[in-house]
Structure 1
Amino acid sequence: MARFWHRWIGRPQFAKRSRRKRSTTRRRLKPEALEARQLLAANIFHNELMPEDVNEDGEISALDALTIINRMSRQSQRDSVEGGVPQQRGPGQMTDVNNDGQDSALDALMVINRMSRQRDDLESSTQRPDPRDRLDPPADRPTDLPTSDLADEVRSIDGTGNNRENPEFGATDTELLRIAENDYADGISEPAGEDRPSAREISNALSTATAAGNTSERHLSSFVFAWGQFLDHDISLSLEPENAEDAVSFDIEVPAGDPLFDPFGTGEQTIQLTRSLIADGTGTSTENPAEQANSITAWVDGSQVYGSDQETSDALREFIGGRLLVTDDGLLPTDENGDLLAGDLRAAENVVLTSMHAIFVREHNRLADEIAAENPDLSDEQIFQEARRRVIAEMQSITYNEYLPALLGEDALSDYTGYDSSVNPSIANEFSTAAFRFGHSTLNDEYRLVGNDGEDVDEPISLANAFFVPELLEETGIDSFLKYASSTQSQEIDLGVVNSLRNFLFGPPGAGGFDLVSLNIQRGRDHGLADYNATREAYGLDRVESFADITRNEEIAEKLESLYGDVNNIDLWVGLLAEDHTEAGSLGETATTIIAEQFERLRDGDRFYYENTMGDREIRQIENTTLAEIIERNTNLDSLQANVFFFAPQITGTVVAESATAQPSQATEPVSSGDPDSPRKGLQGDPPRPGQPQSGQESQSAEEGVVAAEGILVELVDSDGNIIDSVLTDVNGNYAFDSVTQSGSYQVRVAESDEWDVAGAGTWDLSISNGDEDMHRINFRVLV
């Protein structure tokens, strides 16, 4: 089981390293059947199948180019008559081939390029063209084609050919980059950290989580792990040897007397780990140290949905109407062995991840059906590739416009300035083996099953019981798990990791199991990652001089010093998770730098990145399609907050006091939760909103004898009757709760007091359905 655990979780300039080409001996890829990879997907809503056929005579010829040139000439004359101001047009004109709203030389060039490609295809019509021809044009053809020419291309399944000068950039089975120098014990391949404590000892000392947990201070929802894991499985996978004879053990020593892994004090227990495969030809000398390989494409290209090799991709398709295979219930199908059919082999790791896979298969098929209905003459391949193109664009937009800003802060990444062919997008070892494994810290110890109204519909499932059980979704469906992820705060990103991940047992204590914290630390040593301080320096950051420089938490700093002794010897994953967070984000400086640098390279080095290939109108359409919208249009959910990466409901109100001798206020009837002004139910005594006191003093409001009540204790109670938060009213009688960590039913009440008579204050019963809830005017009246 452990072998399949995911690799979660101004750009600095680094010295370029020579890269070896990927090995082709481990996997034979089938040629892509992409109809010469000219799918004519661009402008299929503008001018049907052949946007270059300007005069619509069924042929693409010099007449089409001439028509555009004549149109430009007439437009130029009109512009001169109208004062030299070019007249902008909306897209849709036949001469506007690239659909950018104007006639230009680019439109004529597209016609000429299309004619050239037709001639090339005719000359080679007796043999199916090599699919890479469209990505690597012959030497006598220009390589600096305008962006619009990308419309005639599609991404290769295995990631090759994106970069024309370096076709292997981002492809499957290429080496991971190494930003910092390796820390192998022998400088070649022997694991690092031989002088450090056991990874399990470090885990026990630093990562034990409390039963109550520690939820996100910035109100991140559980989608921070759901999307993080789904995204990680799109860009990174380091495998272990398939054959037992090739496997090299690197087991983790368990401290004697470990209560869960060595309860009988034998001192001989271990947690099993097999070393990762190293790239062919590496690990032969200090000049040629071992490097690990990424077995999937590095690009954010939906490979977890579509696969990273042609055989996998073909196995996922219906080959009718451009659709992907899906069950009648909208779930991932299985193969003859009962394994899920998905683009990534880790799709069954947990039910939330499997639900994410199902959502994007549904989204692909929804788009395919829409495209087919609007363009009945398109082939299966054309529909499939157009739907794939849009799904990838949606995934990229969600990653860069929702997920990364939520995680790192709005300004963590530099602005996009266009495609840069000099950028190598390959995944950095520091990123995949350490920084992007932050996500293990964010998981809660159980998955709730949540209905559309935010209420639990069944008993929660222990995280430990949610691994590798995709069949559970046949009973529950995916809606309740996706609603859970949006309606529950994640755990804080820190060294603490819940029990289900840190003490997963295969039986009673001592029967074996795994500790994901220990495995993260040990995997970093297996890959020869440099220590925390050396990595900071390699990424252009100042080295820390003391443990207190890493964290203001004195207890953590003392434990780090006790374990490592030397600030220059800390395991990278440990140092990253121990860091104080940046002001704008939920990670420390080093982790933020590593993650931002990686995603900048994945964006800037991607010739097919959506902002580099789409027009303004389509970009706006893609960027207006949020993850919440994709989920809602592919499920029965309709109550998600606009940004599912945050869950931050608010409850606010005011407490007023009146004299016991004053005329009693009139109590109101209970108010329905459907009342737009008061989204609550079961009210007892609905008081009026008080006026504003003067100069911070208790003063009379607009209602005679009523004043703001300062210092009143207001309590927030969950559905089990537990007080989860309490707060004193301020000088104006106001209070606020922002401590609701999950959707569901709550009660707000005034606490008993010796100073105030609260017997008639009543209570408010509230129902929180999503993270955008703003429960205001939850007011109370007490007697002096």
Structure 2
Amino acid sequence: MPNTPSKPNGTTSAASSNGDDKGKKQVELQPSFTPTLLERLGITSFHLLNKLIPWYKLPGFIGAFNLAFLRIELRQYNLHDAYASSQAQGSSITDPLPNERYLGARHSDGKFNDLKQPKMGCTGMRFGRNFPREVCGKPSEEELMTPNPRMISERFMARKEGKFIPATTLNLLAAAWIQFQTHDWFFHEQDPHEKFNVPLSEDDKWLDQHMQLYATKPDETLDPSDVKCPGYKNLNTHWWDGSQIYGSSESVTHTLRNRHPDGKLSLDSRGREQFLPRDQDGNVLTGFNDNWWVGMEILHTLFALEHNAICDALRKEYPDWSGDQIFDKARLVNCALMAKIHTVEWTPAILAHPALQIGMAANWWGIVGEKLTKIAGSVEQTTTILEAY
């Protein structure tokens, strides 16, 4: 995480590690892309409006547009490459497309979603930053422990005895869902040789005398700037591609499929029920099985079954398709289903604000909304059928 807070005017405040005010300086953030003229006008207009009325107090649709322009500004100043050069993302010359199959299908390693930069977001690539690399030096252990993360956890997040506050609009599956999704997006490589010792107070109820956490392992040095500002590999694919189910490499995906002729994932049958397979030690065989609990078991099983149900439907409609064709299409459909649930159901349930609900619905259905989009889709489908005759 960067150790310098963002400023509303697009600058950061960088200070010396000893906290001396004399060490503070302003670092101008360079935009990572240039908005269009219309986008810049919108950003400026809402800046002026927000001096009088914050976005969350605006009427729903106006607030949604406010968030849309805020998103553009965040992309402009708070989305940065973790590499010193864009060459690290590869090219069509250094990483040619191995098979035209991946023009319309996911590659389990996360490659070839952008043919101009085929390694973008693939397994083993560094996760992007919200701040430029030059202001993201590696923090010392003292900086990481100030303030003490255990103290923060206990004071602000621990449940107080006798003061349980129920979430009246959610259940435990909401927590399971976001863990299920983050397992799809990222998992940084841990350093088995370096641990952090979190200081504990004398009356701490932790079971051991020490709380130890594995440090994140820095990526190899690819540029002299990596020494001061290291990057960190993501062991999962960065994309919304269901890698927690399908794996983040082609070899893992092939193992989970077991080359089923109908493109299905392997499941264990016990009577009329089906469950995720396990190895000889009882570990679940799936794309990502770390931090496992019953919530993960439910969601991984559910979407593995959903994948196989989609395969059955595709086989019925397209009997001439190969197993790879069915698998590829079923994975796309399954991932789209997860994205839809997260966009129009989970997020609005967590952040139940009218502006956000409008924005998330527009993000999925388009600005005209669900009903008109479905009507337009039905009209288009009918027109296509009539043209075929």
TM over 0.5: yes
Tell me what 1:248 maps to: 194
Determine the C-alpha separation between the residues in 2 that align with 1:18 and 1:356: 32
CA 1:226–1:619 in 2, change beyond 3 Å: closer, same or farther? farther
Tell me what 1:373 maps to: 316
Query: CA-to-partner distance for each residue in 1:606-631, whole Å, 9 max, x for gaps?
Result: xxxxxxxxx935999xxxxxxxxxxx
Determine the C-alpha separation between the residues in 1 that align with 2:255 and 2:152: 43
Is 1:131 aligned to 2:77, yes or no? no
Give the Å deviation of 1:207: 3.2
Alignment of 1:39-50 (within 5 A): none
Q: Normalising to structure 2: TM-score of the pair?
A: 0.63
Is 1:338 aligned to 2:286, yes or no? no
Determine the C-alpha separation between the residues in 1 that align with 2:104 and 2:189: 31
Counterpart selection for 1:215 from 163, 166, 181:
166
Alignment of 1:335-734 (within 5 A): 335-346=279-290, 349-409=292-352, 410-412=354-356, 413=359, 415-416=362-363, 616=377
Determine the C-alpha separation between the residues in 1 that align with 2:302 and 2:336: 15
In structure 1, give the amino acid aligned to 2:160: T
SS in 1 for 2:196: coil
Identity of aligned residues (%): 27
Give the Å deviation of 1:181: 5.6
Counterpart selection for 2:250 from 293, 296, 310:
310
Tell me what 2:42 maps to: none
Is 1:176 aligned to 2:127, yes or no? yes
Tell me what 2:63 maps to: none
Counterpart selection for 1:165 from 113, 116, 141:
116
Give the Å deviation of 1:215: 1.3
Contact 1:23 1:279 in 2 (8 A): no
Contact 2:78 2:131 in 1 (8 A): no
SS in 2 for 1:177: coil
In structure 2, give the amino acid aligned to 1:358: T
Query: CA-to-partner distance for each residue in 1:83-132, whole Å, 9 max, x for gaps?
Result: xxxxxxxxxxxxxxxxxxxxxxxxxxxxxxxxxxxxxxxxxxxxxx9535
Alpha-carbon RMSD: 3.6
CA 1:157–1:22 in 2, change beyond 3 Å: closer, same or farther? farther
Count of aligned positions = 284
Contact 1:189 1:289 in 2 (8 A): no
Tell me what 2:29 maps to: none
Give the Å deviation of 1:228: 0.9
Contact 1:23 1:173 in 2 (8 A): no
Give the Å deviation of 1:367: 1.3
Determine the C-alpha separation between the residues in 1 that align with 2:117 and 2:342: 25
Q: Segments of 4+ in structure 1 off by > 6 A?
A: 21-24
Is 1:202 aligned to 2:118, yes or no? no
Contact 1:200 1:255 in 2 (8 A): no
Determine the C-alpha separation between the residues in 1 that align with 2:348 and 2:262: 36
Determine the C-alpha separation between the residues in 2 that align with 1:309 and 1:159: 8
Structure 2, unmatched stretches of 5+, are 1-68, 366-375, 382-389
Q: Normalising to structure 1: TM-score of the pair?
A: 0.33
More helix as a share of residues: 2
CA 1:183–1:350 in 2, change beyond 3 Å: closer, same or farther? farther
Determine the C-alpha separation between the residues in 2 that align with 1:334 and 1:618: 47
CA 1:275–1:376 in 2, change beyond 3 Å: closer, same or farther? same
Determine the C-alpha separation between the residues in 2 that align with 1:205 and 1:17: 33
Determine the C-alpha separation between the residues in 2 that align with 1:173 and 1:357: 23
In structure 1, give the amino acid aligned to 2:232: Q
Tell me what 2:143 maps to: 193
Give the Å deviation of 1:133: 5.0
Structure 1, unmatched stretches of 5+, are 1-9, 25-30, 32-128, 136-151, 263-268, 419-614, 621-784
SS in 2 for 1:314: helix
SS in 2 for 1:248: strand
Determine the C-alpha separation between the residues in 1 that align with 2:201 and 2:318: 65
Counterpart selection for 1:233 from 179, 183, 199:
183
Determine the C-alpha separation between the residues in 2 that align with 1:221 and 1:373: 37
Determine the C-alpha separation between the residues in 2 that align with 1:19 and 1:355: 35
Give the Å deviation of 1:164: 2.4
Give the Å deviation of 1:335: 2.5
Is 1:327 aligned to 2:271, yes or no? no
